[in-house]
A = this chain, B = another copy of it.
């Protein structure tokens, strides 16, 4: 039973009520708390020492990352983040100065996106540092962009360049909040997800949620300089395109747009965000196959994204 199978098992019979517009299954939950014209987004996410960062990592960057991951999920719904609460699971030998710098890094990003950290919890956690952030956000009612809306014929876009995030980007990525808000207001964005498990894995999540297939164009996938350098420097055995497909923690937006709006979105984005690449990497297909078209023809996309665990 791997991570995603376990989650399916855990979440299949959860109690719900009329305040839940959408529960488990997308980047955030969507709630109705009674504000006119607005829905509330709710998300929780954790990073753990030796899994998402090493003990020698810069504390401010660790704190920044813990919050930024949640903001990326709010972005994936085209929402605005508002409030965060933070849990610190502390190793027994923790250094208070390190923890203070974690909070400083987190708070700096919070201020940048006008997010208020409004509560916290501290507890022992054996020998590892764990940081959990839960975020509340908002979006105009009915305007959240889900994973479920992709339609056959849609163009598939991705922001930024992919792969090799471990070289540094996983600490410094920009949560694509502005870009997502612009997208949602500029055209007919059918479906969106943020890339946390890698392009291959997250595209799979998106097409499964939408009940469609996809065809990627291998030569169009934007590969990061870091992915190329890591391969050349023998830091990874993954060829760059494989890194772009399977490395986790890109935190870019993957979204689909009706074919009619594709050029408008492409041109508009380039004007609005000239420093952030946007690339059309393929199209949504009917059926349920995930395929990739390379120089040697078309094949099934068998690569998968990052999976935290797969015991048994």
Contacts and interface: CB of A to CB of B under 8 A. Distances in A.
Contact of A94 (B15, B46, B87, B311): B311
Contacts of A36: 34, 36
**Among A48, A125, A138, A309, which residue has the most Cβ atoms of chain B within 10 A?**
A125
Interface in A42-58: 42-52
Interface in A1-20: 1, 3, 6-7, 9-11, 13-17, 19-20
A28 B121 CA distance: 11
A132 B257 CA distance: 36
A29 B83 contact: yes
Nearest to A45: B121
Interface stretch (A95-103, A168-176, A179-187, A268-276): A95-103
A31 interface: yes
A85 interface: yes
A117 B14 contact: yes
Contacts of A116: 14-17, 19-20, 23
Given A48-B126, A121-B45, A309 B134 contact: no
**Among A23, A40, A50, A83, which residue has the most Cβ atoms of chain B within 10 A?**
A83
B83 A123 contact: no
A17 to B, nearest CB: 5
A128 B128 CA distance: 9
B48 A125 contact: yes
B44 A132 contact: yes
A38 interface: yes
A262 interface: no
Contact of A45 (B13, B87, B309): B87
Contacts of A94: 311
Contacts of A6: 96, 99, 122
Given A33-B136, A96-B312, A20 B118 contact: yes
A92 B308 CA distance: 10
Interface stretch (A107-115, A155-163, A242-250, A292-300): A107-115
A119 interface: yes
B9 A96 contact: yes
22 contacts: A6-B99, A7-B122, A14-B118, A17-B116, A23-B116, A24-B120, A31-B83, A33-B35, A33-B136, A34-B138, A42-B83, A44-B86, A44-B87, A45-B87, A46-B89, A46-B121, A87-B132, A89-B89, A89-B130, A96-B311, A122-B308, A132-B132
Interface of A: 1, 3, 6-7, 9-11, 13-17, 19-20, 22-24, 28-29, 31, 33-36, 38, 40, 42-52, 82-83, 85-87, 89-90, 92-94, 96, 99-100, 103, 107, 110-111, 114-128, 130, 132, 134, 136, 138, 308-309, 311-312
